[in-house]
Amino acid sequence: MALVYSCCFWFSLRLGGIIIALFSIIQALIVLTISCVGYSNPKNIEEKITFWVNDLNLIFTKEFVNNLRSDPTKTLGLIILLTCIYIIICMMYVYGAYKCNNVLMMPYIVAELVRLIAFTVLVITLLLTLKKNTMDIGLLIGASVLGGFILLGMFYLWVCAANLPIVINEKEHDEYVATITKLEELLQETKPKTLIGFDYVPRSNYNEALYSKHIHRFQ
């Protein structure tokens, strides 16, 4: 059973799913652009990371940041590759939603769930890092609320996208049941008629006189 039947209380799940996938493509293009710029300027990336390592308390992410600083092109190249694959998966979902093809939509649903889990870990890590590097409680509360609302909205959009195949299956099932019911009604209408003498007469039409006229033939 689907959890939602409309997207944002306004769009159908089909149109909403297409819009969500296009929105994901826009996000991916932004990440791809930033990654390409960083890939072409590794020195700037190293300087920024060096500043973070020297001036910020990076807690448990320090080792990862140091690895990124040692070879930023490798990490950025991997991000570019994954982003390109993700864009292709988003396009598959758009086409699958347009054609109501569940198989084409499943890769996006799985990939988006993985991306949201990774993004959740990233947000939590950033909040913990912010907590270690600031004494401003208002800033920390504001960042936590903002991060929570962003995650809530993204997970809601994922639920909408993930429920589209379920709604399609339910619709196909309802159509199948309606077809079976219609066929049963047609079979009832074309039910074999009662043999009276040598003529086929519907049960509802024969009467006592007709019965008396022909019954002697079978005695």
Residues 135 and 58 in one domain: yes
Residues 205 and 158 in one domain: no
Residues 192 and 178 in one domain: no
CB-based contact 79:28 (threshold 8 Å):
no
Which residue in 8, 34, 21, 151 sits closest to 91, CA to CA? 21
Residues 60 and 147 in one domain: yes
User: In this predicted structure, what is the pLDDT of residue 108?
Assistant: 94
Terminal CA-to-CA distance of the chain, rounded, Å?
A: 61
Residues 212 and 150 in one domain: no
pTM, full prediction: 0.72
User: In this predicted structure, what is the pLDDT of residue 2?
Assistant: 63
User: In this predicted structure, what is the pLDDT of residue 70?
Assistant: 75
Residues 198 and 164 in one domain: no
- Identify the H or E element spanning 1: none
User: In this predicted structure, what is the pLDDT of residue 155?
Assistant: 92
User: In this predicted structure, what is the pLDDT of residue 150?
Assistant: 92
Tell me if residue 201 falls in helix, strand or coil. Answer: strand
Express each pLDDT in 141-182 by its tens digit: 888 899 999 999 999 999 988 888 888 887 777 777 778 877
Q: Examine residue 1 and state whether it is found in any structural domain, yes or no.
A: no
Residue 139 is given by DSSP the state: H
As for how many domains the chain has, the answer is: 2
Express each pLDDT in 75-121 by its tens digit: 888 899 999 999 999 999 999 988 888 889 999 999 999 999 999 99
User: In this predicted structure, what is the pLDDT of residue 133?
Assistant: 77
Q: What is the mean pLDDT of residues 14-25?
A: 89
Q: Examine residue 45 and state whether it is found in any structural domain, yes or no.
A: yes
Residue 176 token pair: 């199948």
Q: Examine residue 200 and state whether it is found in any structural domain, yes or no.
A: yes
> pLDDT band at residue 203, thresholds of 50, 70 and 90?
very low
The residue segments making up the domain with residue 75 are: 6-183
Q: What is the mean pLDDT of the chain?
A: 79
Express each pLDDT in 34-54 by its tens digit: 989 888 887 887 777 777 767
